[in-house]
A and B are shown apart, each in its own frame.
Chain A
């Protein structure tokens, strides 16, 4: 009977194509938009992966990783004195304008690392030596900076080249790899002192304190201790990441706009699939009635309809997921738009698609359930 069910389904080319198309489109909308959303959310926490430290301490009012509220330099020492803290170093962070050869200005994110320890250093150097960042005017730029800041030059920026940050000369001593940030600006790593030289003078010039717990204490615990002792906002790395993501969810329209599109995908799926499948059942009412007359139980018929609906679900999902992955490969190369697909995403989308299909099948089952098999005698 199940083979018959599938043949009946495939035999109705138009509806089959419509069902597959609708479900593939719904899958694509839901999955692609979710992946871009997740990618975008991961961009909001890029600092945590580009500047690595177990504990992040900021001004009491800091709620998320992209918010900088300057503190007094002495706060580093207060953090150091909290029991459980192994080490604590200052970090300076600011956004400055860089002047390009063609006369344009581009914003860049300046990260000033503790000169002695270079804690928060880039994870991967592509060219040059990290230690050279201690030389006068030295900076390490990321690969995005090479792209962005080379405008107007004959050759892309290289180690040894010089450019301007806030009217001051910066010499490239290294090129590193960095994850792209939500703001879309390149990272420029330098030392804490050099970074302050690039920036306009202000009274407070400490942005963040990076710290580590002593062996045997967890970062979560020690962050809590720092918070209690100093009144500063202290987070462990993971907690800071989630705090950041939740901050964007609460305070921006991003989840709303993506959520709307994802919901739209769900609605498109349920409407197209539900309606087309119901029409399919109506078209086949006579034949399904004949099957009932010939002794097929309601249970058998229901199973046939479920099988048909699930089949279009699996095929439609397969096509939609395939298209999403193709899209993903296309954009991951370019880095735009953001794209992130953890395994939960296809699994979740598959479940949603199956729910849509079961819903469609149930509509049809309710219709056929009540049909008297005697309708087959009526003209």
Chain B
């Protein structure tokens, strides 16, 4: 068990995320559901790690606790030297603000804002001025092939284009950890492939990590390593036999 993680741990990889013994229970008493039953796993800097497993096994819950959006009961989570288990709520908020970029299944763009405004949100939350935020947002939108559409609203875009805006928003403030929950499941096959390709090209970076939860076996090839979950536990972490990208950190 956890072969990949233990092997590589001693092999000179710098860890981005370190998770040990994490548990999370929803609800109380009879209705309680233990979604995480002692999760151990690591993410390396520079890698794109995929988390796979049957529906309901706790993937989204795991992402939520790593991202600092959900409290957990036991265990330790370290993300780029932030020990989430010992931070105060306010410090967790600051951690999310600076360190995490989010990509959601439902895109979650704000419909009444333009694309450039949507992308600017993380910068504005980080206190960047309006003008600079818009410049940086326009630049990253252009990088994702959306130049000239900055003033459109999300409703004027296709699903794939909206998810590209979401990628731009997740990356614009250069977070060290990018979190994606089922980023391609609302998209058709070709669009899903393109989105993953762009995500790999832009988000994958020697000093970052990208964690992707997915069902979609057609995009597995973009992963450096796979984490298999089952029933609230990580069963196996292994190098991806189908990988098509060169490793960033050896």
Q: Does A12 contact B (CB under 8 A)?
A: yes
Cross-chain contact A290 with B102 (CB below 8 angstroms): yes
Q: A1-B125, A11-B112, A11-B113 are in contact. Are A295 and B93 (CB under 8 A)?
A: yes
- Residue in A closest to B65 when the chains form the complex, CB atoms: A374
Q: Does B117 contact A (CB under 8 A)?
A: yes
Q: Does A296 contact B (CB under 8 A)?
A: yes
- The stretch of B40-48, B103-111, B204-212, B224-232 in contact with A is B103-111
- Shortest Cβ gap from B172 to chain A (Å): 11
Cross-chain contact B69 with A372 (CB below 8 angstroms): yes
| Contact partners of A284 in chain B: CB under 8 A | 110
- Shortest Cβ gap from A322 to chain B (Å): 27
Q: Does B160 contact A (CB under 8 A)?
A: no
| Contact partners of B130 in chain A: CB under 8 A | 3
- Residue in B closest to A287 when the chains form the complex, CB atoms: B110
If over half of A's interface residues share one DSSP class (helix, strand or loop), that class is named, otherwise mixed; here it is helix
Q: Which of A1, A292, A377 contacts B60 (CB 8 A)?
A: A377
Q: Does A294 contact B (CB under 8 A)?
A: yes
| Contact partners of A297 in chain B: CB under 8 A | 90, 93
| Contact partners of A379 in chain B: CB under 8 A | 105-106
- Residue in B closest to A297 when the chains form the complex, CB atoms: B93
Cross-chain contact B69 with A295 (CB below 8 angstroms): no
Contact with B along A261-281 (1 / 0, CB 8 A): 000000000000000000000
- Shortest Cβ gap from B63 to chain A (Å): 7
Q: A1-B124, A377-B63, A377-B69 are in contact. Are A295 and B97 (CB under 8 A)?
A: yes
Q: List 27 A-B contacts (CB under 8 A).
A: A4-B113, A4-B117, A7-B112, A8-B110, A8-B112, A284-B110, A286-B106, A286-B108, A287-B108, A290-B102, A290-B104, A292-B69, A293-B69, A293-B102, A294-B102, A295-B95, A296-B93, A296-B97, A296-B125, A300-B125, A372-B70, A374-B70, A376-B102, A377-B60, A377-B69, A379-B105, A379-B106
Known interface pairs A291-B121, A372-B70, A378-B60; 15 further A-B residue pairs with C-beta atoms within 8 A, sorted by A's residue number = A10-B112, A11-B113, A12-B112, A286-B106, A286-B108, A293-B96, A293-B102, A294-B102, A294-B122, A295-B94, A295-B122, A296-B93, A374-B64, A377-B60, A377-B69
